[in-house]
Chains A and B, each alone.
Chain A
Amino acid sequence: MADNLRIRKGVHNLSDAEAGAFRDAYRQMQAITDNRGFAYFAGLHGVPNWYCQHSTDTAPAYYFLPWHRAYLYNLELAARSRVSTVTLPWWDWTLRPPRQSGIPKIFEDRTADGGKPNPLYSFRIDLTNPSIHHATRRQPGSADDLPSQSDVDDVLSTGDWTDFTLALESRLHNLVHGWVGGDMAIVAVAAFDPIFYSHHCMVDRLWWLWQVRNGNGSMPDDLLDTVLPPFNMQVRDVLSVNSLGYDYAAAQTVVPI
C-alpha cells in the first residue's frame, strides 16, 4: 500500500468522532448552493443533468463502475474541502444483527450532534424544472432481504469483466436501491438521498476487491479511453483506487524500520 493513502472505512467501524466529522462535512455541503455543494453533486447523477451511466444491452456500455468511481472521488474531495479528515464510508449491506440491521443507525437517526437535523437522514430536493420540492424519504424492506455475504461471494467469483460488472450492478446494486425504496429507488432522484454515496462506496469496494484478484480482467481496450463526463477523467484514470489516493483496507499499520 502506498504512503499517505486515505482509508475508506465501513460505516460500522466509524468512531464517534469520525461519524461526527462525516456529518459535519455533509452538513456544510448541504448548505452550499453552488458547484461545491451537495445539491450540485446530487444533480449530476439524475435530474437535472443525467450524467450517470448504467448498463444497457448494447455494447460497449459498461461504464457503470468507472463512472461511479469518478463520481465518488469528486464528491469525496468536495467533502474533504469542508472537513479535511473525512473519507467516504461504505455501507456493508451483508452485515446482520447484532453488528447492523438494515439501514445503518447513523443514516437512520433524525437528529444528531445535540438535536440538529441529521444531514445523513434526508436532504431536501428543490428543483423547478422538473418541479420537485420534497425531502428525500425511504421505504426500506425487510433487513433479511438485503444481499448476504454468500450473494457477494458469488458475484466476486465471476471471472469475466463483462459478466462481473453486470452481476454487480443488476444483482446487488439494483437490489439495494430498490430495497431502500423511496427516492433511493429511482434513478432520477436517488443521489439526493445521503445514503446513496455509502451504498455506492460498497459497490466501488467490491469492484476493488475483484480487481485485487483479477486485475482489470477482460475489460475492452476501447473502454479505457472513454471520457467520464462531467469529470476530467477517462476510464483508465480510475482503474486503481491507490492512484486516486485511497484504499479500502480495514486498517493500516506502518511498521517501523
Chain B
Amino acid sequence: MAKKSRQQRRVGKASTPGKARVTSPVRPSAPANTYTSKPVAIEFAGPGHRFESADLEILGIDHSQASYEGRVFFNNPKADASTPKTLDHGYAGSFYIFGHGGCFGDVGHCEINERLDAYDLRDPHPLRPTLARVPVTAALKQIAKSHAEISITIVPVVSAATELCDTKNVFHFQQMRFLTYNA
C-alpha cells in the first residue's frame, strides 16, 4: 500500500473531539461531496415576468466544521471543483463559509443548547446555523429564457480544515429559496 501523504492522513472523517493535538489547518486534496436539488419550477423568472435582481438564499447552514466556498451551478449536476465559473457552465455565484474548524472543546461544547427558560439571558450559542444570500440575477435570467425548471448544484471547495473536521460531507443546510426583487 502506498504511504499516505501527511495531508491525506490529516483530513477525512472527523475525529472524536477531545484532547487530540490540533495542527495548522490545510486545504484538503480530496474533493467534498456535492449537492444537487430536485428540479424546481422557475416560471417566476420567465420572459413574462419582470425582476431587477434575484438572490438564492440558503438557510440553516452548518458552520461548525471546515471553511469553504460554495459554488452554485444551475442545470449542471456534474459540476465539480474544476468546472469553470462561467455562465455557459451554469455557474451562478458563490457563497463563503468561515468555519469554526470542528469541536475544540470537551464533549458537548458544540451542541447547540436552547435557552433554559425565559430568565436565561446568556448569549445564544454561536454555532446556531448561518445563512447565505447569493446574487444569481444574470444566471437566472439566462436560463429562464429556455428552461421552465432547473436543478441547483452546490460544489463545496474547502479552503481549510483541521483534524477535527469532516472534509467529505461539508455542506449541510435546512432550506433554499429564490428571492426576486422588482425594479
> Interface on A for B, CB 8 Å cutoff?
46-47, 50, 52-58, 61, 129-137, 139, 141, 163, 166-167, 170-171, 173-175, 177-179, 181-190, 229
Q: Is the CB of B26 within 8 A of A188?
A: no
Q: Taking the nearest CB of chain B, how far is it from the CB of A60, in angstroms?
A: 10
How many contacting A-B pairs (Cβ < 8 A)?
Answer: 119
Query: For the complex, would chain B's binding face be called helix, strand, loop or mixed by DSSP majority?
Result: loop
Range of interface residues on chain B?
35 or more
State the CA gap A177–B20 with chains docked (Å): 25
With A178-B160, A189-B25 as contacts: A57 and B60 at CB distance below 8 Å: yes
| Whole-angstrom distance between the Cβ of B101 and the nearest chain A Cβ | 4
Residue of A nearest to B68 (CB): A178
A55 CA to B98 CA, complexed, in Å: 10
Provide the main secondary structure of the chain A interface: loop
Q: Which residues of A contact B27 (CB under 8 A)?
A: 139, 181
Query: Which of the candidate stretches B32-40, B72-80, B128-136, B147-155 sits at the interface with the other chain?
Result: B128-136
Contact A187 B128 (CB under 8 A): no
Q: Which 3 A-B pairs have the closest CB atoms?
A: A185-B160, A178-B159, A186-B101
Complex-state Cα separation, A128 to B63, whole angstroms: 24
Query: Contacting B98 at CB < 8 Å: which of A56, A57, A134, A173?
Result: A173
Query: When the two chains form the complex, which single residue of A52, A132, A141 contacts B22, counting CB atoms closer than 8 Å?
Result: A132
Asked if B99 lies at the interface with its beta carbon under 8 angstroms from chain A, I say yes
Residues of B at the A interface (CB closer than 8 Å) are: 19-27, 59-61, 63, 67-69, 95-102, 104-105, 123-124, 126, 128-133, 159-162
Beyond A58-B128, A185-B98, whether A177 also contacts B67 by CB under 8 A is yes
Q: A130, B104: Cβ atoms under 8 Å?
A: yes
CB nearest neighbor in A for B129: A57
Q: Given A139-B27, A181-B160, is A50 in contact with B133 using a C-beta cutoff of 8 Å?
A: no
Whether B130 pairs with A57 at a CB distance below 8 angstroms is yes
